[in-house]
Amino acid sequence: MDTQQEEIDLQKLLRQQLHSLGQFGVREIPVGNGDFEFQFEAEEASIEPIERSKVPPNNSPQPAAKTVAKATAIPAPAATTPLSDNWGPATVHDERPSALEIINAEVRGCTKCEELCAKRIQTVFGVGDPSARLVFVGEGPGADEDRMGEPFVGKAGKLLNKILAASKLKREEVYILNTVKCRPPRNRNPTESEIRDCWDYADRQLEVIQPEFICCLGSVAAKTMLQTTQSLGRLRGKFHPWKGARLIVTYHPAYLLRNEGAKRHVWEDMQLLVKEMGIDLSN
């Protein structure tokens, strides 16, 4: 078989495979490691190769274009992104904001925990960049967060903002979420069953965002994510593997407000974290 015929056959095979994926509702496929990258529109199953030479350089270790792992769970958008001459990672349609919005809509309507949803003003989903390299995971909303609908906006949040600034991180460039989405009354810890019922939302947020780094603020987040009963003191100060991300544990900012002495440990943990992220704190 000559090369031209082989190419035609290959394209035909690819079209068929993409067409059947499209019928299952798959909107995008991850970019591969070969010389070409493909995006396809499900209805037309049209194939458009992108030459790597046209792809702008990306210095970040995070892949420029990420597709949502649970693609089948995401309804197809009404309009598809038109393919143009200059499309590449920067213009590949990123479904993360809409995927997060779908989860948020579920959270808003959640009635799994009777007490929490009877007493909440609103659910507190998360805030930040849906493509963040780093996600902070707190415990649960307090009174201020319940009122504002955003995590870490009260006293502990102000301290977290200072920690971020000292670590050369911008709040809008990271993503912040909590282990549970509703305020536990009187600021008690969330119960095991509340965490069990709620954690799936955060887990799915993380699956959409696909961060490289995760920082657990406090033992509720750490024990939930690492499925351990070990103390925070034993868990902090090192990276733990978590579903392809690197997870670090540190003290909760609210704990720091009561225990000044723990601040130096948080600073050590943040230095370790941002160093791994390639951030230079020396100037």
Q: Which is nearer to ligand URA, 66 or 183 (CB)?
A: 183
Query: Angle at the Cα of 41 (from 38 to 43), degrees rounded to 5?
Result: 145
**Burial of residue 105 (number of CB atoms within 10 Å: 0-12, 13-18, 19+):** exposed
Least distance between ligand URA and beta carbon 253 (Å): 7
Q: Which is nearer to ligand URA, 88 or 138 (CB)?
A: 138
Tell me which residues in 50-79 interact with ligand URA (CB under 6 A): none
Applying CB under 6 A, the span of 63-71, 146-154, 190-198, 207-215 interacting with ligand URA comes to 146-154
Least distance between ligand URA and beta carbon 138 (Å): 3
| Of positions 145, 146, 194, 269, contacts ligand URA by CB under 6 A | 145
Least distance between ligand URA and beta carbon 91 (Å): 34
| Of positions 136, 152, 201, 213, contacts ligand URA by CB under 6 A | 152
Tell me which residues in 208-267 interact with ligand URA (CB under 6 A): 254
Tell me which residues in 85-144 interact with ligand URA (CB under 6 A): 138-142
Helix axes 96-108, 192-209, angle to 10 degrees: 160
- Nearest CA among 103, 34, 113 for reference residue 68: 103
Q: Which runs of consecutive H residues, i.e. helices, occur in 77-154?
A: 96-108, 114-119, 143-148
Least distance between ligand URA and beta carbon 139 (Å): 3
Total residues binding ligand URA (CB under 6 A): 13
Query: Angle at the Cα of 152 (from 119 to 263), degrees rounded to 5?
Result: 130
Q: Which residue is nearest to ligand URA (CB)?
A: 138
The radius of gyration of the chain's CA atoms, rounded to the nearest angstrom, is 22
Q: What is the rounded distance in angstroms from the CA atom of residue 22 to the CA atom of residue 42?
A: 4
3-state DSSP percent of the chain in helix, strand and coil, to 5? 45, 15, 45
Binding site for ligand URA (CB under 6 A): 138-142, 145, 151-152, 154, 156-157, 178, 254
